[in-house]
Amino acid sequence: MKQQLVVRLFKAFVAASAIAILAGCASGAHREGMAAAPLASTKKLPHTVSVTAAGGQETGAMDSSNVSNADLKAAIEDSITRSNLFRNVIQGRGGDYDLAVTVTQLEKPIFGGAFTVTVEAGWSLVRTSDKSVVLRKAIKTSHTAEFSDSLVGTTRLRLAVEGAVRKNITEGLQTIAALPI
């Protein structure tokens, strides 16, 4: 009788551990989720641009959702292409402008129902012909993923990270669109 109880407890423990491990497996923010919607501005710059991203982190197996440099770069490039803000996005060096975006802060909650994530990134736009800095700005944005967005905590956190980055990209591109270049 007592042995059966021990076996049942053990099975329950194994099941609970499996759920805990699976629920704790986070994935990094997806580039599609971070890409901004086309800008309201109809400005089309007659220049090409090269994009670099830094300050991001890969998401480890037991980590919470992070933003990788490769996905951030791709999301910015997708956003530029969607909005037609620049004539073309150039891979590597060789664009008329170099856009460098560096994540300097990613504030994430550890527990909670509604997750609010804040991201700060430094946006720098340099004209390659004379190396003049035409934009240097810190942009801070937040996004809250509600319990209704996803019941799974790790997914909710990823959605919050993606939302905060998406808003950051939107604000960054709006700032560039307003520049007299």
Partner 1 sequence: MRRTLKLAAAALLLAVLTTGCAVNKATATVDPSARLDTIRSVHVKPYANDERGTDKVIVDNLRARGYQVSTGKEPAGSVDALVTYVDKWFWDITMYMLELTIQIRDPKTDYPIATGYSMHTSLTRKSPPDMVDEVLGNIIKEGKGK
Residue 32 as a binder of partner 1 (CB under 8 A): the answer is no
Residue 17 as a binder of partner 1 (CB under 8 A): the answer is yes
Residue 136 as a binder of partner 1 (CB under 8 A): the answer is yes
- CB burial readout 112-124, b (16+ within 10 A) else e: eeebebbbbbbbb
Residue list 145-164, contact with partner 1 (CB under 8 A): none
Closer by beta carbon to partner 1, 41 or else 105:
105
**Minimum CB separation from partner 1 for residue 120, in Å?**
7
Closer by beta carbon to partner 1, 53 or else 83:
53
Neighbours of 12 (CB within 10 A): 10
Q: Which of 47, 63, 84, 149 binds partner 1 (CB under 8 A)?
A: 63
Torsion of the alpha carbons at 169, 154, 118 and 144, rounded to the nearest 10: 90
* Rounded distance between C-alpha atoms, residue 70 and residue 47, angstroms: 23
Neighbours of 63 (CB within 10 A): 14
Selection from 97, 120, 95 nearest residue 172 by Cα: 120
Among the listed ranges 18-26, 29-37, 80-88, 155-163, the one in contact with partner 1 (CB under 8 A) is 18-26
Q: Are 133 and 124 in contact (CB under 8 A)?
A: yes
Binding stretches for partner 1 (CB under 8 A): 3, 6-7, 10, 13-14, 17, 20-21, 24, 54-55, 57, 60-63, 100, 102, 104-105, 107, 110, 120, 122, 124, 133, 136-138
